[in-house]
Chain A
Amino acid sequence: DAGITQSPRHKVTETGTPVTLRCHQTENHRYMYWYRQDPGHGLRLIHYSYGVKDTDKGEVSDGYSVSRSKTEDFLLTLESATSSQTSVYFCAISNSGTDAVETQYFGPGTRLLVL
């Protein structure tokens, strides 16, 4: 299994509070991703990173920001959490190799409840 950890694994917070989720990898992979998983929507990309300090938006980036100051860590921040951000959040990693599209490997997920 790819060395990916997410913290916290579960979090309950209140509307309007900031929340930061952490993804940590030990694989030295170049790419890191944040997804959210909601019933009926599958996985939707929030933000991704293609290197230290290099990030880009996904399809559902509103209300989220990210930072990557080290290869191994990718942080997802909800500046002011809303109930619509209640979800399960997954981090994924992939590496740049010989394939035009690289396989992504997923972390265990963080379950976030915004009250």
Chain B
Amino acid sequence: AQSVTQPDIHITVSEGASLELRCNYSYGATPYLFWYVQSPGQGLQLLLKYFSGDTLVQGIKGFEAEFKRSQSSFNLRKPSVHWSDAAEYFCAVGPYNTDKLIFGTGTRLQVFP
């Protein structure tokens, strides 16, 4: 069965530091991959998505993610974190030709000044 793992429940970084959030998926073929962000009390906002092509995907708010087939990973990165990036981040996988997404359990990011 398809699944998504976000190994880090909670990450704390200093403002200005680099960030990498991990996401691993289990799926037999190339999946469609998404990263969403959820600010406190808000709904989920799409950061970026990977369908095919270039394995390095650029998103909004300065985020990027890299698809690595050999590692079944789709890690999210940002070179310099801002205090406003404090939120919860969800990775999701969409099995090919389905209408549904499978979400990871999320990583909560805390940013210290």
- Which residues of chain A have a CB within 8 Å of any CB of chain B? 4, 31, 33, 40-45, 48, 50, 58, 90, 92, 94, 99-109
Does B44 lie at the interface of the complex (its beta carbon under 8 Å from any beta carbon of A)?
yes
- Which of A41, A58, A108 lies in contact with B42, CB distance below 8 A? A108
On whether the beta carbons of A42 and B49 are closer than 8 Å, the reply is no
On whether the beta carbons of A103 and B96 are closer than 8 Å, the reply is no
For B101, list chain A residues within 8 Å (CB). Answer: 45, 101, 104
- Give the number of residue pairs across the A-B interface with Cβ within 8 Å: 54
On whether the beta carbons of B46 and A105 are closer than 8 Å, the reply is yes
Q: State A105–B92 Cα separation when bound (angstroms).
A: 13
Interface residue range, chain B: 20 to 34
Report B60-99 residues with CB < 8 Å from chain A CB. 90, 94-99
Interface string of B41-55 (1 = CB under 8 A from A): 111111001010000
On whether the beta carbons of B98 and A101 are closer than 8 Å, the reply is yes
Report B18-39 residues with CB < 8 Å from chain A CB. 32, 34, 36
**Min CB–CB distance A36 → chain B (angstroms):** 11
- Which of A48, A58, A101, A104 lies in contact with B96, CB distance below 8 A? A101
- Which of A40, A100, A102, A106 lies in contact with B44, CB distance below 8 A? A106
Q: State A90–B45 Cα separation when bound (angstroms).
A: 12
On whether the beta carbons of B97 and A90 are closer than 8 Å, the reply is no
